[in-house]
Amino acid sequence: PHTGPVESKNEAAMSELVPEPRQKPVVPMKPMGINANLLGYIGIDTIIEQMRKKTMKTGFDFNIMVVGQSGLGKSTLVNTLFKSQVSRKSSGWNREEKIPKTVEIKAIGHVIEEGGVKMKLTVIDTPGFGDQINNENCWEPIEKYINEQYEKFLKEEVNIARKKRIPDTRVHCCLYFISPTGHSLRPLDLEFMKHLSKVVNIIPVIAKADTMTLEEKSEFKQRVRKELEINGIEFYPQKEFDEDLEDKTENDKIRQESMPFAVVGSDKEYQVNGKRVLGRKTPWGIIEVENLTHCEFALLRDFVIRTHLQDLKEVTHNIHYETYRAKRLNDNGGLPPMTVETEENHESNL
């Protein structure tokens, strides 16, 4: 009989401790198509900034080769291109220096910095090319040098304990200087480009374009393009390496209108209409190097440095170097055949 009131007290105490169940919040229905904006900001766009920081730390390599007869202004043009004294002749060159009996290869390295970006620039000069009475096979030392750089890179690449960053001495770009005769290409020009267009990016350049009239220049450019086409010579940018329609449109314009660039080089400044300009002084006025109505130097600089520098490097690595590498490994020259001894050495090294 005494149980009733006690149980009712306990129940009252329990009801005080246990809270009443809350109503669940109303969840809105999931939209049929989930919009990216609903997911919030993730930060994928910072990848570009991360890549920029990484490359800024490591810096860039760019190796440019200049080939042509002496007296065509190769050194001057390279100095004008980078607005620095980077050529072989700019550092202690003696005007009484004799023409070498055979083609020499001289590489000069510089570090150029602009806007916090460091570039290790190597200018490879080829004194003696085309300056002999008999110029037969004078391109061979140049071809040998280019292939030696590929070989050096390949040897570093196939090492078991290879470097994190292999020094890149491969030639990324070859500026070939054509004499401004106004007639046609010499057999030497055709032979050189025929042999080397398969191993390096060749950019043909008409040197000292101020020696021709506008009509002569236009006709000569057309004749050079036609001769290169007839002889099956591919110059950079090659048609088969255009990646998409945008690249094709841009490169077609360069191939059909600009190539070969008719340029004038100068490292001297003159005052023109109150402005300091790079130019060449003549009795009838000053030829402004960076003025497009005077010459195509600005187009060449934009092409080599501002728009296609990275592509020059990529084509060198992905096409020319890969072709060399595949041939060497296919001939079993790059890697020795695996024997019992080499397998044991390989395991011990690991």
Domain containing 265 — which CATH number?
A: 3.40.50.300
Q: Kindly tell me the burial class for residue 280, based on how many C-beta atoms sit within 10 Å of its own C-beta (0-12, 13-18, 19 or more).
A: buried
Quick check: is 234 in a domain? yes
Q: How many domains does the chain have?
A: 1
**Tokens encoding 66:** 């200049």
* DSSP summary character for residue 118: E
Q: Is the separation of the CB atoms in 109 and 50 below 8 Å?
A: no
Find the mean pLDDT for residues 154-180: 89
**Local confidence band at 342 (pLDDT 50, 70, 90 cut-offs):** very low
Tens of pLDDT, residues 285-337: 888 888 888 888 888 988 988 888 999 999 999 999 999 999 998 886 545 55
Go through 289-317 and write b for each residue having 16 or more CB atoms within 10 A of its CB, e for each that does not. Answer: bebeebbbbbbbbebbeeebbebbbebbe
Q: List, in order, residues 6 or more apart from 236 with CB less than 8 Å away.
A: 173, 201, 202, 203, 308, 312, 315
For residue 208, pLDDT over 60 is answered with yes
Find the mean pLDDT for residues 171-175: 93
Quick check: is 41 in a domain? no
**Local confidence band at 202 (pLDDT 50, 70, 90 cut-offs):** very high
Find the mean pLDDT for residues 219-234: 90
Distance CA 162, CA 317 (A): 18
Quick check: is 338 in a domain? no
* DSSP summary character for residue 317: I
Distance CA 168, CA 170 (A): 6
Find the mean pLDDT for residues 341-346: 50
Quick check: is 340 in a domain? no
Q: Is the separation of the CB atoms in 89 and 267 below 8 Å?
A: no
Q: Which of 115, 175, 106, 113 is nearest to 141 (CA)?
A: 106
Cβ neighbour number for residue 203 with a 10 Å cutoff = 21
Cβ neighbour number for residue 93 with a 10 Å cutoff = 11
pLDDT of residue 199: 92
Q: To the nearest whole percent, how much of the chain has pLDDT over 70? A: 79
Quick check: is 144 in a domain? yes
pLDDT of residue 340: 47
Quick check: is 180 in a domain? yes
pLDDT of residue 318: 92
Query: Alpha-carbon Rg of the chain, whole angstroms?
Result: 33
The SS3 call for residue 268 is coil
Domain that holds residue 111: 62-88+99-331
For residue 350, pLDDT over 50 is answered with no
Quick check: is 292 in a domain? yes
Q: Rounded to whole angstroms, what are the CA distances from 336 to 51, 261, 343?
A: 37, 45, 11
Quick check: is 28 in a domain? no
* 8 or 262, greater pLDDT: 262
